């Protein structure tokens, strides 16, 4: 892309030289400078993820194709964004960042790049968004560039989640753990004691009032015990689902499951998170209500 002698030096500088500008000019340029830095940072992060994909390839041609895409993302989100230019991306970069980036070098290898499920769409998205960044100079640079930079960061985050989930699926499958079965984890034991104590207390109270010789009374006591324990067991299960990397949950999904777990049984969430101690204290000592 052709750049003017006036704008190019400012674009290449991490800290644009605003010497000689009055306060009003500086105030007008500050949002644009911040947007340019935001775009460059998002581009670097996206390129790092694409290079991670490249490093996983068994076919060297696929690896090179993804490396070229990563380099093009850095250029398109950095020095190709030139205020005052025509906003057009260089033809070579447009070609490199085309949607067929997910095909890698299939025309020479007769194979597709090795991508985990869920990685293809973020890969297309980061390339398409990066290719669109230079055109922001034709409109409201600060607002449009910031919006696309945020989208680029979100697409990269989705890519990382898919990569982590794919890597987790390749690990040996572990047997699901229920509350109280992991005897080696002191926090698990702490949470289990909390739930078991409440269940036992509910059971004993019901028996005391219903009578332990009455079948109906024992059934009611068991119902009370299960009701006291159910929320804690469900909360622990939700936490383990949320923390399973194979699901590739994004931060909002992870937080949502943790919030539901806390609504079911805040004490269990605090116990498993270590908020109530490390679980190694004497279980016979009084514990806060």
The mean pLDDT value of the chain amounts to: 83
Predicted confidence (pLDDT) at residue 23 exceeds the cutoff of 60? no
| Claim to verify: residue 164 and residue 35 sit in the same structural domain | yes
Select from 169, 195, 210 the last residue of a domain: 169
- Which pLDDT belongs to residue 165? 84
Residue 182 above 80 pLDDT? no
Query: How confident is the model at residue 11, as a pLDDT?
Result: 43
Give pLDDT, residue 212. 56
- pTM, two decimal places: 0.63
Residue 36 sits in the same domain as residue 161: yes
H-only helix segments in the chain: 8-12, 23-55, 60-76, 91-96, 106-109, 120-132, 141-169, 186-210, 215-242, 251-264, 266-273
pLDDT of residue 168: 79
For residue 288, what pLDDT band results from cuts at 50, 70 and 90? very low
Buried-exposed string 253-281: b where 16+ CB fall within 10 A, e elsewhere: eeeebbeebbebbebbbbbbeeebeebee
* 260 located within any domain: yes
Boundary (domain end) residue, out of 169, 201, 225: 169
Residue 241 lies in a domain: yes
196 and 103 part of one domain:
no
* Residue 163 and residue 191 in one domain: no
> Is 249 contained in some domain?
yes
Asked whether residue 285 is domain-assigned, the answer is no
17 and 145: one domain?
yes
Domain contains 165: yes
Residue the block writes with tokens 């994909």: 53
Pair (148, 76) in one structural domain = yes
Whether 72 and 197 map to the same domain: the answer is: no
Question: Does residue 142 share a domain with residue 240?
Answer: no
Residues 6+ apart with CB under 8 A from 190: 271, 272, 276, 277, 279
How many domains, in total, are found in the chain?
2
The mean per-residue pLDDT over the stretch 232-237 comes to 92
Shared domain for 118 and 192, answered yes or no, is no
Give percent of the chain above pLDDT 70.
Answer: 83
- Residue range(s) defining the domain that contains residue 47: 8-169
Residues 43 and 162 in one domain: yes
Which contiguous run of DSSP H or E holds residue 58? none
Q: Does the pLDDT at position 181 exceed 70?
A: yes
**Is residue 3 a part of any domain in this protein?**
no
Look at 211 and 254; give whichever has higher pLDDT.
254
What's the pLDDT at 214?
A: 73
């Amino acid at each position: 892309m052709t750049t003017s002698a006036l704008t190019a030096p400012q674009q290449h500088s991490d800290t644009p030289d605003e010497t000689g500008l009055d306060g009003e000019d500086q105030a007008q340029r500050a949002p644009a400078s911040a947007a340019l830095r935001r775009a460059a940072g998002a581009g670097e992060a996206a390129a790092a993820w694409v290079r991670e994909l490249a490093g996983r390839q068994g076919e060297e041609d696929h690896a090179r194709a993804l490396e070229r895409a990563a380099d093009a993302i850095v250029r398109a989100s950095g020095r190709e964004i030139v205020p005052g230019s025509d906003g057009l991306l260089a033809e070579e970069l447009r070609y490199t960042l085309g949607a067929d980036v997910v095909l890698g070098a299939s025309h020479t290898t007769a194979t597709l790049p090795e991508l985990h499920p869920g990685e293809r769409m973020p890969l297309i998205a980061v390339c398409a968004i990066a290719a669109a960044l230079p055109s922001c100079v034709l409109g409201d640079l600060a607002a449009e560039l910031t919006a696309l930079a945020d989208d680029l960061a979100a697409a990269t985050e989705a890519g990382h989640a898919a990569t982590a989930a794919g890597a987790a699926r390749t690990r040996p499958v572990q047997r699901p753990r229920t509350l109280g079965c992991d005897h080696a984890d002191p926090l698990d034991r702490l949470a289990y004691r909390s739930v078991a104590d409440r269940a036992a207390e509910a059971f004993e109270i019901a028996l005391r009032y219903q009578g332990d010789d009455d079948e109906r009374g024992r059934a009611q006591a068991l119902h009370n015990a299960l009701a006291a324990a159910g929320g804690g067991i469900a909360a622990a299960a939700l936490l383990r689902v949320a923390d399973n990397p194979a699901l590739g949950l994004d931060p909002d999904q992870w937080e949502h499951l943790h919030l539901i777990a806390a609504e079911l049984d805040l004490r269990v969430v605090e116990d498993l998170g270590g908020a109530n101690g490390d679980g190694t204290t004497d279980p016979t000592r009084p514990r806060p209500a």
